[in-house]
Structure 1
Amino acid sequence: MRRLSQVRSKLADERGATLLTMIFFLFCLGGLLSLVLFQEQTHFLKMNVQQTADLISKGARAAGKWEYVDAEGNRQTRLFATKEEAIRSEAEIIRGAREEAEILWNDNRASLERGKLDDAHVVHQKGEKQHLYKQGIYYIWIGVETRLPSFTEDHQVKLERVSQSGTYD
């Protein structure tokens, strides 16, 4: 009985220190969890932007691609930016690569904005470089800005993703 009362008195003396230690470790655990969640939100945003860029570049290239056999009998591939350009060259395509990319961007922008983006920019063909079309390459750059929350505050995050689809032999 005497032993039990000694243990109780010791525990009563230690309660304040134990409480402070528990609060300290609770804040440390909360901070660590916040960092992990912030990192995962960033990775999810990167993945979503990259998938959107890949979808647009591959879809645009597939829409504007025209394959033909040249005078020497070699198979050639050409990418047309617009339907009018293809008609002038007597190519048979449904829609130009740039036109298809615009449609795909407008359709898929909502999936990026669902993540509460502050801003999203897209640059096609490095500023519409014609030599990329002639090589059969479609290039797209997407830049996004958003705020991601962490334990103490929101952080401004800027991401840039690139996708390029082309003929690679």
Structure 2
Amino acid sequence: MTDLSAPPSSYAARNSTPQGDLLELTHDSLDKPSFLNSVVDSVRRDRAGAVALFIGTTRDEFQGKTVTRLEYQAYTRLAMKTLSSIIEQAHTSWTQPTDLTPEALLRVAVIHRLGAVPVGQTSIIIAVSSPHRREAFEACEWILEQVKLKVQIWKREWYAGSEDAY
């Protein structure tokens, strides 16, 4: 029997950037409170007046169909490289070289689940710290959209009453 939770091309990986940002692909649950706290702590800085946090979860319905689970596969090596590039671009895009705030983004963490993710469970966590809330919120949303557009992670949706994934 094939283990759908750990496809061979989708191996777990964890890395950090030179700025100290965290990137991770994992088959482990992201729903433990201690894990979420560790992600937030990884981006906290004394200069940060804001930490924006996005938690994406598997919903139970899509376009009138009952969703039973999502399944994520990745080309891990390339996905990690792309994640790193997105985070670097975010740092560059939100840099405001002033004497008061030399950096608009201080730290970023992106953790994405691989394998089967049942309804109600977390698929992705993005945390961003910044001296100001506006930049934290904007960067967090921009990073999410870039991950969805560019990172080599593929999602399959499974529906009730169907053996087919879409």
Q: TM-score, normalised by structure 2?
A: 0.30
Higher relative contact order (CA 8 A, sep 6+): 2
Whichever structure has more helix as a proportion of its residues is 1
For the pair shown, the structure with the greater C-alpha radius of gyration is 1
Q: TM-score, normalised by structure 1?
A: 0.29
